[in-house]
Amino acid sequence: MATKDKDKDKNKEKPDRKSGGGGATGDSGGGKSRARRQSTEAVVRPPHSGIGRPVPPPRLREQYRRTVKPKLMAQFGFANAHQAPTLTKIVINCGVGEAIKQPKVLDKVVEELAIITGQRPVRRRAKKSIANFGLREGQEIGAAVTLRGARMWEFLDRLVSVAIPRIRDFRGLATRSFDGRGNYSLGLKEQLIFPEISYDMVEQVHGMDVTFVTTATRDDHALALLRELGMPFRTEQDKTQAVRSRGAAVAAH
């Protein structure tokens, strides 16, 4: 009987670990929850400096109407002005494979795409499950933005004038990325080429695919359109210079 009473007294003196009320454990749990709440809070941004001012027309759209369109009609012999090819939309797509295990990575990608394009992206979901990748159907694995109208022209202007010249070791865009129906696809390796993205706010470098959808039915018409709009395509002279520079580098080693 004496041993049973001693066991009961020992059980009463043991603290309850599941309650979490004991000193250091309770404080650490509260600190983690507070940090989690702070990380999930939305970032408050200051108001845009252009609020209340009239929106100027896109510079590149005016250039297309005044210069590019008449030049294309004369080059290909179009009798009707509606036959001249033009841009319909620009689609920016970004796949995030890390979002399978880290969903917060996709939130940052969506935020950066919204800053670059000025439009809220749409989250893309997986169409089917792939067991080898740990992917389930309906899981969010990417984001996409479709630009039309003034935002489309403004994005193209910034891409051609500011972003593409900031690419490291840039030697021109390839002309083999047309799909045979007048549409062109371009791959960007990092989002840091856009001046809207600060290096300090980037947590992970990611690329994106940019697709230019035009009304052209032939690739040569779309190539002429994009080249007149300022897309720096690689020429045959650039290719020969690149081959010579590679040969000289190999010979030096």
Q: What is the predicted pLDDT for the residue at 57?
A: 85
Domain hosting 215: range is 77-97+144-235
Q: What is the predicted pLDDT for the residue at 117?
A: 92
Residue 222 within any structural domain of the chain: yes
Q: What is the predicted pLDDT for the residue at 224?
A: 95
Residue 185 within any structural domain of the chain: yes
Burial-class residue 197 by CB neighbours within 10 Å (0-12, 13-18, 19+): middle
Size of the chain in residues: 253
pLDDT digits (tens, 9 = 90+) for 176-213: 999 999 999 999 998 899 988 888 888 888 889 999 99
How many domains does the chain fold into?
1
Residue 72 within any structural domain of the chain: no
Residue 229 within any structural domain of the chain: yes
Residue 3 within any structural domain of the chain: no
**In sequence order, what are the beta bridge partners of 210?**
92, 186
Q: What is the predicted pLDDT for the residue at 43?
A: 55
Q: Name which residue leads in pLDDT, 53 or 20.
A: 53
Residue 248 within any structural domain of the chain: no
pLDDT digits (tens, 9 = 90+) for 97-132: 777 777 788 888 889 999 999 899 998 877 778 777
Residue found by looking up tokens 């899981």 in the block: 139
- CB 206 within 8 Å of CB 108: no
3-state secondary structure of 140: strand
Residue 192 within any structural domain of the chain: yes
**Where is average pLDDT lowest: 1-5, 74-78, 111-115?**
1-5
Residue 92 is given by DSSP the state: E
Asked if pLDDT for residue 2 goes beyond 90, the answer is no
Burial-class residue 144 by CB neighbours within 10 Å (0-12, 13-18, 19+): middle
Share of the chain above pLDDT 70, in %: 72
Residue 10 within any structural domain of the chain: no
Q: What is the predicted pLDDT for the residue at 22?
A: 44
Is-above-0.75 flag for pTM?
Answer: no
CATH number (domain holding residue 197): 3.30.1440.10
